[in-house]
Structure 1
Amino acid sequence: MTRDVRILNTGSLLELQRRLRAAGGENIRSSMQRRIRRAAEPLKTDLQSTMRGLDIRSEGRRGRPGGRSPTTRPLRATIADSIRISVRTGSSPGATVWIDKGRLPPDLKNMPKVINSGRIRHPVFGNRRRWATQWAQPPWWDSTVRQHTPRMEREVARVLDDVRRRLE
């Protein structure tokens, strides 16, 4: 994906991590990780449902009507299932919502980025002499992330404040 979503305030998180290590607060650290993951979970769920329900339209057919797809895998569900969350507490603490390209088939590695642009151009049933253009409502990733960012930032700030209070 062109952009990962990162929930972080590096200075505050790094300072908090140092204090957690000094206090030996493993329970506090795991609670913080769990709450940060919980803050990012609605974004992941919404990105997945947005992808599954994304309307992709074609230009219209010319000539003979098409046939069945040569693949059995559903495009939208495959991409939706590859959306992941990772939470880190090491030297670069925070949370990232991203598309795991390792979970996508080789021919779909760039498809999330292509769909986010709104224009999908591909060979017709694998025939590289005939191409089709399809349109998706852009930008599915960016607009969904924009809607969730203020809520996630507030939630992470609340988590950091709670952890600071417990350490004092």
Structure 2
Amino acid sequence: MTRDIRILRTGALLELSRRLRTVNEESVRASFHRRIRRAAEPLRDDLQRTIRHLPIQSQGRRSGGRGGTSPTTRPLRATVAAAVRLSVRTTGNPGARVWIDRSSLPPDLRNMPTVLNSGRIRHPVFGNRRRWATQTTTPLWWENTVRRHQPRMDREVHRVLEDIRRRIT
């Protein structure tokens, strides 16, 4: 997804990262990495849960419309939820990043996270490119989920930075 969330306190994280490199204590670095990951894991889990339970409404069928089984066996929301990733760096540009890894999605679903976030899904009916259907879902689900977690993550990262700073000084 083009919009990813990063837990960054650029100045404080960079300064602490530099000081951690001079400290030869692996347990401090491991603790720093683990605690930053723990601060971001609830966001990743909530994003996955939100995707899995995202309501998708369809237009009503026209009279005489036929139904049928889906031509694909892969569940859309579970496939997109499985692509949500979390990475943590403690060197270079330190912080945590939560994003959707498009390369882990099937080629025909690579743009689906952006489409789902827009709130409007337009697709051919059972692959027939002469008949199209429009479905709707909750728009901006990504941003709203991130916004709910932002204050908690900021507090947690601040607490981690203070704890680690006390340990290395």
- Shorter-chain-normalised TM-score: which range? over 0.9
1:11 matched to 2:38: no
C-alpha separation between the residues in 2 aligned to 1:66 and 1:21? Answer: 62
In structure 2, the residue matched to 1:84 is 85
8 Å Cα contact 1:117-1:139 kept in structure 2: yes
Give the counterpart letter for 2:120 in structure 1. Answer: R
In structure 1, the residue matched to 2:154 is 153
Shift of 1:39: 0.6
**TM-score, length basis structure 2:** 0.97
In structure 1, the residue matched to 2:97 is 96
Shift of 1:2: 2.7
- Superposed CA offset, 1:119-163 (max 9, x none): 000011111111100000111111100000100010001000000
1:40 matched to 2:31: no
C-alpha separation between the residues in 2 aligned to 1:25 and 1:13? Answer: 18
In structure 2, the residue matched to 1:133 is 134
C-alpha separation between the residues in 1 aligned to 2:123 and 2:2? Answer: 20
Percent sequence identity is 68
C-alpha separation between the residues in 2 aligned to 1:90 and 1:35? Answer: 15
Q: Which runs of 5+ in 2 are unaligned?
A: none
Q: Work out the number of aligned pairs and report it.
A: 168
Q: Which of structure 1's runs of 4+ aligned residues deviate more than 3 A?
A: none
- Superposed CA offset, 1:81-103 (max 9, x none): 11010001121110000001111
**TM-score, length basis structure 1:** 0.97
In structure 1, the residue matched to 2:23 is 23
Q: CA RMSD in A?
A: 0.8
